[in-house]
Structure 1
Amino acid sequence: MRQAEVTEGVWSTLLGLREGARRAPGPDWSAAERAAWDLYAPIAGGADPGPYFFAQVGQSIDGRVATVSGDAADVSGHEGLCHLHRCRALADAVVIGVRTALADNPRLTVRHVPGRHPVRVVLDPRGRLPDEAGLLSDASAHRIVIQSVPRRRPDGVEVITLPSREHVMNPRAIRDALLARGLRRVLVEGGGTTIAHFLEAGLLDRLHVGVAPLIIGAGPSGLRTSPIDRLSQALRPRTAVYGLDTDVIFDCALDPSGSASRSTWPTTAEEIPPAIAASRA
């Protein structure tokens, strides 16, 4: 694990990269500052004009994002929360599902770090989100609701209408609608089901999983992908691990098609590494 430190100099350099400037780590940067650069530079993107969709989930050691009662306020530590806000600041838009919007009433701002607020996008097929929700009533950023019903929204809130099937909209259609509006670097923030839809559709370029040192015991999990029968069917993204003081970040790079490589774990006795074979004897 590499310890990462996001100093003022590192962050200003990343924001410059985000705006298309040619930026690189300074010659006097520490190892921790260079680690921070390696963590965030891929999502900052720089002059890369191509679309880039990434996701971030913060969870406990035992993989929970909230208690059974729904309390999710303090799952991530301070640095984990700052990490989320940095991801927002490096994105054109941030996407959440309506269940997350209803349960958490998030503001989707970057108030913990310098930067500009991303466009807020809510996936609300049935039009359940009230107009008084904080992320719609706060006009400090452009707001978009993607829905399947002909419901009017307040002035200043853009409505995109897409068909849905069993109250789920096609993630590829969502992606295309955002790209058509010039929103090319997009953070899919949650919840776990929304992230899973984009992951399983092969539309994510990167996934950050933040783990905080607490054990909740029960409650919703961070990612809820379709179950598999064998570990050989598992997705195994190329992963680097970074320490951010209060939280650990697993930086999972997905292949160009948006899907992690399939498992390469041995499936025959002849392929099992000797040390592991001996432990099973």
Structure 2
Amino acid sequence: MTHQHSQAWPLIRAAARTARDSTVLKNGARYVFDGETLTAAAAGDHPVLAFENGWRSLLPPSDPRQACLDLYLPLAGPRANTPLVLAQLGQSLDGFIATAGGQSHFVTGPTSIVHLHILRALSDCVIVGAGTVAADNPRLTTRLVDGPNPVRVVLDPQLRLPISCGVFSDGQAPTLRVRARNVTLPGARGSADIEDLEIGAPSGKLDLHELVNELWSRGMQTILVEGGGVTVSAFLAAGLVDRMHIVVAPFVIGEGRPGLRVPSAAKLEDCVRPPPRVYALGSDVLFDCDMRSHSQSESGSSVIRRVL
């Protein structure tokens, strides 16, 4: 973990825990931090965070933790009526997430990998498609940061993945395998380490709205869609992505597996243009986009440059 991350992470994690505790979280309150927990500030205290329908840092801009708080606090709040769906992709300058042969370890640099583990730790579940599991055999854990592992949700509509895949057999985190409704589960493909979920699949594609509603009903307030490009693109095309993190690494693959691919608009002015906040993650560049905002402002309030 980078120095900036290690300084800020205990406070960010405390904010995420506090957001789930209705006995502690009070709208309009200010909070002090003792290095582990947040408590409501009393007279004479020096609060570090305020909660006003979301977390707000009270630290001065010069504080070394401020950049990380700007980036991660929007992900640490409670969700009132619907989950927060966060999508994340790491890609090359020319928009590829892997080589033509499928190699993707690692397109982005080490700071960006830590960033991804932080996103997992702030999420209740992490979603990947069967193609990502087949190509990368990911663990989807938070081993690089101090935080809980999310529930692993593997989209495998036709049950093509073998039971030997790490996410199905390593026992490191709860795993939910999602298949298309009416696809029979053979006895040999079942496991005590996996919970199976059937979702409708009109036209052969999983109903992602039904999936998100099911995850929300299970108490999953923050949903991370981690990959691959096909899965992230499907969530984006379905209008389900609230926030998008695109990390661009400074090299050219030339030809490979593309990142986002969604139906195109007829005119450029009809394209979605969410105002980004821009951060440097080592030598990579992160675009943090609020997909629910379509402001075309290019003022300093919509583009914030920080180095992590």
Whether these two folds match at TM > 0.5 is yes
| RMSD of Structure 2 on Structure 1 (CA) | 2.2
- SS of equivalent residue, structure 1 residue 209: strand
Shift of 1:85: 0.7
Report the residue type matching 1:110 in the other structure: T
Map of 2:218 onto structure 1: 181
1:1-281 → structure 2 map (5 Å cutoff): 6-20=4-18, 24=49, 25=57, 27=59, 30-45=62-77, 47-50=78-81, 51-148=83-180, 149-151=183-185, 152-255=189-292, 261=294
Shift of 1:252: 0.1
- The answer as to whether partners of 2:125 and 2:152 remain within 8 angstroms in 1 is yes
- SS of equivalent residue, structure 1 residue 62: coil
Relative CO higher for 1 or 2, CA cutoff 8 Å, sep ≥ 6?
Answer: 1
Shift of 1:226: 1.3
Q: TM-score, normalised by structure 1?
A: 0.85
- SS of equivalent residue, structure 1 residue 37: helix
d(CA) in 2 for partners of 1:32, 1:5: 9
Runs of 4 or more, structure 1, over 4 Å off, are none
Change (3 A) 1:57 1:178: same
Count of aligned pairs between the two proteins: 257
- The answer as to whether partners of 2:249 and 2:285 remain within 8 angstroms in 1 is yes
- The answer as to whether partners of 2:59 and 2:66 remain within 8 angstroms in 1 is no
Report the residue type matching 1:227 in the other structure: S
- The answer as to whether partners of 1:80 and 1:246 remain within 8 angstroms in 2 is no
- SS of equivalent residue, structure 1 residue 80: helix
d(CA) in 1 for partners of 2:123, 2:229: 19
Shift of 1:13: 0.5
For each residue in 1:198-233, what CA deviation from the matched residue of structure 2 results, as whole angstroms up to 9, or x when unmatched?
112221110000111111111111111112332112
For each residue in 1:106-126, what CA deviation from the matched residue of structure 2 results, as whole angstroms up to 9, or x when unmatched?
110111111111000001110
d(CA) in 1 for partners of 2:11, 2:125: 20
Shift of 1:5: 6.5
Unaligned runs of 5+ in 1: 265-281
Map of 1:269 onto structure 2: none
Report the residue type matching 2:9 in the other structure: W
d(CA) in 1 for partners of 2:272, 2:295: 5
d(CA) in 2 for partners of 1:28, 1:10: 14
Change (3 A) 1:15 1:227: same
d(CA) in 2 for partners of 1:241, 1:188: 20
Q: TM-score, normalised by structure 2?
A: 0.78
Shift of 1:169: 0.4
- SS of equivalent residue, structure 1 residue 232: helix
